[in-house]
């Protein structure tokens, strides 16, 4: 699989702190970036927001507004999942990349990271997805994995897809294994099955009984 650092981009040089605001505004008009890195003598100063730049006085420099620069970044060794989290937390489509010496080396674009995500086994390989829910104090990732693997299932990935004060939802992608057996085992361990499955014998039996009762009542 391709390493995420291969997506570090340098198609456009970072904005310089001594550049004019008007130059920055022209840059954002021409290119659809929500933010873009700003450097001073090669040192990363922060990211300039296109929305902020649009409100600045055109005869000033970016340095005059350095207090508005947003300090988010990732390292060139940061994992793709942590990179994706930085994108989400900062509502941006560009994330600057720094090396271990805090030198600016380039940036990631959101579209490239999504392409990388699409190449992971979680999305690329075929399999079934189960979404389960349990009280937040009772769930266990190790137990979820054990339930799948005890039914000869192979996990392609799992993550917490929703959470409240009381409950947690876990999304699991599975290849191999009998889906119905896995579903019923989750129920035995008091997990609620949130997703719908054609292989779910329990639900299918309930539907058949409901249909039978409807016919009986309509006689």
CATH of the domain at 84: 3.10.580.10
Residue 205 pLDDT level (bands cut at 50, 70, 90): low
So what's the pLDDT on residue 213? 44
Q: Is residue 219 part of a domain?
A: no
User: Is the pLDDT score of 197 beyond 80?
Assistant: no
So what's the pLDDT on residue 20? 96
Q: Are residues 112 and 135 in the same domain?
A: no
Q: Are residues 103 and 185 in the same domain?
A: no
Range 108-116 average pLDDT: 88
Q: Are residues 47 and 102 in the same domain?
A: yes
Q: Is residue 210 part of a domain?
A: no
Q: Are residues 21 and 90 in the same domain?
A: yes
Q: Is residue 191 part of a domain?
A: yes
Q: Are residues 19 and 110 in the same domain?
A: yes
Q: Out of 66, 93, 117, pick the residue that ends a domain.
A: 117
- The domain tally of the chain equals 2
Q: Are residues 51 and 93 in the same domain?
A: yes
Mean of per-residue pLDDT scores for the chain: 87
Range 163-190 average pLDDT: 89
User: Is the pLDDT score of 35 beyond 60?
Assistant: yes
So what's the pLDDT on residue 212? 43
Q: Is residue 174 part of a domain?
A: yes
pTM attached to this predicted model: 0.66
Model confidence over 59-92: pLDDT tens digits? 999 999 999 999 999 999 998 878 988 999 999 9
Among 13-17, 18-22, 50-54, 203-207, name the one with the lowest average pLDDT.
203-207
Q: Are residues 98 and 199 in the same domain?
A: no
Q: Are residues 66 and 159 in the same domain?
A: no
Range of the domain at 56: 4-117
Rounded Cα–Cα distance for residues 179 and 186 (Å)? 11
Percent of the chain scored above 70 by pLDDT? Answer: 88
Q: Are residues 8 and 113 in the same domain?
A: yes
Total residue count of the chain as it appears in this document? 219
Burial 58-96 (b: 16+ CB within 10 A, else e): eeebbeebeeebeeebbeeebebeebbebbeebebbbbb
Range 112-117 average pLDDT: 82
Model confidence over 125-170: pLDDT tens digits? 778 889 999 999 998 999 999 999 999 888 888 888 888 999 999 9
Q: Are residues 148 and 103 in the same domain?
A: no
Write the DSSP string, 110-147.
Answer: HHHHHHHHHTSHHHHS--EEEEEEEETTT--HHHHHHH
Q: Is residue 217 part of a domain?
A: no
Q: Are residues 104 and 127 in the same domain?
A: no
Q: Are residues 163 and 103 in the same domain?
A: no
Rounded Cα–Cα distance for residues 152 and 170 (Å)? 19
Q: Is residue 111 part of a domain?
A: yes
């Amino acid at each position: 699989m391709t390493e995420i650092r291969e997506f570090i981009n340098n198609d456009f040089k970072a904005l310089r702190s001594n550049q004019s605001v008007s130059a920055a505004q022209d840059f954002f008009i021409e290119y659809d970036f929500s933010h873009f890195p700003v450097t001073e003598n090669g040192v990363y100063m922060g990211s300039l927001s296109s929305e902020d730049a649009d409100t600045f006085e055109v005869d000033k420099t970016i340095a005059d507004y350095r207090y508005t620069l947003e300090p988010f970044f990732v390292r060139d060794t940061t994992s793709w999942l942590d990179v994706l989290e930085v994108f989400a937390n900062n509502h941006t489509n560009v994330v600057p990349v720094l090396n271990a010496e805090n030198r600016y080396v380039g940036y990631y674009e959101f579209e490239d990271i999504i392409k990388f995500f699409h190449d992971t086994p979680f999305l690329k390989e075929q399999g079934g997805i189960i979404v389960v829910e349990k009280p937040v104090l009772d769930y266990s990732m190790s137990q979820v994995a054990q339930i799948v693997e005890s039914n000869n299932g192979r996990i392609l990935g799992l993550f917490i897809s929703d959470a409240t004060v009381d409950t947690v939802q876990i999304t699991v992608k599975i290849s191999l294994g009998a889906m119905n057996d896995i579903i019923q085992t989750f129920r035995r361990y008091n997990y609620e099955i949130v997703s719908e499955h054609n292989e779910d014998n329990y639900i299918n039996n309930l539907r058949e009984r409901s249909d039978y009762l409807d016919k009986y009542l309509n006689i």
